[in-house]
Amino acid sequence: MIRTFSLLFIFSLFSCKPNQDINAIAHPVHVDGFMQKKLETELMGMRKQKDEYFKTASESPLPAHLKQVFTSLEYYSPDWKYRFEGPVIRYPNAAKFQMITTSGVWRDALKYGYITFELDGKGFKLEVYRLLDLAEKKLLFVPFVDANVGKETYSAGRYIDLQEKPDGRYVIDFNTAYNPSCAYGGDFPCPVTPKENHLPIAIPAGEKILPLAAALERTKVKGV
């Protein structure tokens, strides 16, 4: 199950051609001192609100035994290097397919379009999806896996959510990347990031693995 916490995508290497339209590439968003303070205040407020939801809400993805000892989620510090602005290039004939979940269930999805961006001098392409069984029909889903997977980030991938816009332009902010509900020790069927979306570099932005959930999950598996 996907939960939206302002907080989806497929990554593959993308080589920028000399004649490529510059307007088709997502660029880093310039953040001056005033804007940095504003963005950090908004981001920290969102994270605090999410912690409160996880701790107290009846629909929290945390199992009851974990809620009792939970204090806060784990995050990277904000880094605006990982905040981009640009278009989602829509596919003229969007293809339907099925995406596997962590529980083995298949979910109907649509390959909506893609985003291209540059990071540290290298180009990348992100496939953008829509899950067809969601009530929120304009929600676009961008799942990704980075090189810190299994060490600092969740093995099934992290997500970024985008709301469909008429002009096709978006802010793609990795600082808002979040874990799927299945990352916290519960039995949620979360879409698994396809292999094409496995990025060979680290993206140290957004949510990390929750160490407490991982430790309790290992304990449960061992039967301790």
pLDDT tens profile 191-221:
999 888 888 889 999 999 998 776 666 555 4
Q: Looking at residue 17, what is its pLDDT?
A: 43
Distance in angstroms (rounded) separating the CA atoms of residues 212 and 122? 35
**Percent of the chain's residues with pLDDT above 90:** 57
pLDDT tens profile 3-34:
434 333 333 333 334 345 667 888 888 888 99
Q: Looking at residue 219, what is its pLDDT?
A: 54
**Percent of the chain's residues with pLDDT above 70:** 85
Find tokens 């963005």 and name the residue.
Answer: 39
Tokens coding 210: 């929750």
- 11-20, 32-41, 82-91: segment of lowest average pLDDT: 11-20
DSSP β-ladder status, 89-100 and 169-173:
unpaired
Q: What is the mean pLDDT of the chain?
A: 85
- What is the DSSP track for 61-88? SS-HHHHTT-----BPPP-GGGEEEEE-
pLDDT tens profile 156-191:
999 999 999 989 899 999 999 999 999 998 788 899
Average pLDDT for 107-120: 92
pTM, 2 dp: 0.84
